[in-house]
Amino acid sequence: MNITHIINLFRAYLIENKKILLIYCLATFALAVLGSSFFSVPVLSLIVPYLILIWVAGTFFQSSLKKNNCTHFFNLPVTTAEKFTHAVGVILVLLIALAALLLAGTYIGTYFIRPLYIPITSDWQISSEIYKMVSWDFATSLSVFLFGSIYFKKNSFIKTWGTVSVISIAVIFYFFGLIFIVFGTRSAEINSSINIFDFSFFQNYYYLLYSVVILFFLSLTYLRLKETEV
């Protein structure tokens, strides 16, 4: 795997998408400043970067498949591993950039703008355990949507979102249906007391499950990319 090839792919991606990437960065920073300036819990400023990264991952390979540069992309003198590394690298770099802008905007809004009209009484904090769980969920979502972008040739983002939603709803119905079958009429009382996060194994080793899922979808993405090139 040639690092120079990956750098050239990354440079070409920046040149082709510099306007939309700039919009993503400005939107993240502006919403972080406004959200932390006027709201104690800036939910929107947190959701937008998440949606941006999911969108980029969910449409990454589709943009190469649908546009006129399809033949150009798949006939580049680079290996499948280099193209795959390029895709993952773009998402990681964008993640770091948006996270930095989010933190900078939140800091400016919270400690420079908000104190102008309301005293700072308390900082909004997230439990470290919840933060870890959300981070792993986010990483898993990115790997799933990246696979969807190469698996679906048209409307990959919408199809991936729909597929994930249907599977999630089916799992929920199956889970609660199983509880009803096992416990019968007492299922309502038992449902309220069941919490999967109380399992000690899941609390201590939840990252193993997430890691397996992430590696699984990244492997599928690589194999699908290789198959598409053939």
Per residue in 147-163, pLDDT tens? Answer: 999 988 788 899 999 99
Please compute the mean of the pLDDT values over residues 1-18 and round it to a whole number: 86
Whole-model pTM: value is: 0.79
Contact 32, 105 (CB under 8 A): yes
Q: Residue 65: is its pLDDT beyond 80?
A: no
Report pLDDT for 78: 79
Q: Residue 71: is its pLDDT beyond 50?
A: no
pLDDT band at 121, cuts 50/70/90?
Answer: low
Contact 8, 86 (CB under 8 A): no
pLDDT band at 179, cuts 50/70/90?
Answer: low
pLDDT band at 110, cuts 50/70/90?
Answer: confident
Tell me the per-residue pLDDT of 24-40, one tens digit each, with 9 for 90 and over: 999 999 998 988 887 76
Contact 148, 65 (CB under 8 A): no
